[in-house]
Structure 1
Amino acid sequence: MKKRKIPMRKDIVTGEMAPKKELVRIVRDKEDNVSIDPTGKKSGRGAYISLNVETAKRAQKEKTFDKVFETKVDPQFYEDLVAYVDHQQARRELFNNENA
């Protein structure tokens, strides 16, 4: 059987390459609204961040997405991002432990 290629993306905060499934896409649309894109299919400019709470908190502290998207990002977005990443990280740990 042929081995499938794993799509890799760069974490915008750490600069490390990681499999796309281990990252979450953040997107800026034409109206400069920045949002979390769990499906990875929203239209607009996208950037990836790893599903790691420490990385999300670092992005919040450094206002990474303000710089990347060259727009003012609502502080509430960063709060939502940290909560989303925390939730996803907890789900991954829970379901990986069940499958082990």
Structure 2
Amino acid sequence: MKKRKIPMRKDLLSGEMFPKKSLVRIVRQADQTVAIDPTGKAQGRGAYVALDPEAVKQAQSKHIIEKAFDVAVDDSFYSELYAYVDHQKARQELFGDQA
């Protein structure tokens, strides 16, 4: 049986490569807003974030997402991203890699 290739993506916050399924996509939409893209298919400029809540806190203090997307990001987005990443990490630890 042929072995399938695992798509890899670079984490915006750490710069490390991870399997695409273990990352969360965030996207800058046409109206210059930044949003979480749980489907991974939304239109716009995308970037990937690892399931590390502490890295999200550091990204907020260093304004990494603003620099990457060249757009102002509201603090409420960071709190939403932190909650989403924390939830997904807990799910992954509880259920394993069932993606």
Same fold (TM over 0.5): yes
Task: State which drifts further: 55-64 or 66-75.
Answer: 55-64
In the TM superposition, residue 83 of structure 1 has moved relative to its aligned partner by 0.5
TM-score for the superposition, normalised by structure 2: 0.94
Measured in 2, the distance between the counterparts of 1:36 and 1:9 equals 16
Residue 56 (structure 1) shift = 1.4
Q: Look up the match of 2:6.
A: 6
Residues 11-90 of structure 1 correspond to what in structure 2 (within 5 A)? Answer: 11-90=11-90
Of 52-61 and 30-39, deviating more is 52-61
What is the root-mean-square deviation of aligned Cα atoms in Å? 1.1
Deviating above 3 A after TM superposition, structure 1's stretches of 4 or more consecutive aligned residues are none
Indicate the residue corresponding to 1:95 in structure 2: 95
Q: Quote the sequence identity (%).
A: 60
**CA distance, structure 2, for counterparts of residue 60 and residue 21 of structure 1:** 23
- Residue 34 of structure 1: how far off its partner (Å): 0.2
For the residue of structure 2 that corresponds to 1:48, the secondary structure is strand
**How many angstroms does 1:59 deviate by?**
1.3
In structure 1, list runs of 5 or more residues that go unmatched.
Answer: none
Query: Is the partner of 1:13 in helix, strand or coil?
Result: coil
Between 1:7-16 and 1:51-60, the stretch displaced more is 51-60
Tell me which moved more, 32-41 or 50-59. Answer: 50-59
Distance 1:38 1:59 in 2: 19
Q: Distance in 1 between matches of 2:15 and 2:5?
A: 21
The alignment's TM-score, normalised by the length of structure 1, stands at 0.93
3-state DSSP of counterpart to 1:78: helix
CA distance in 2, matches of 1:10, 1:52: 14
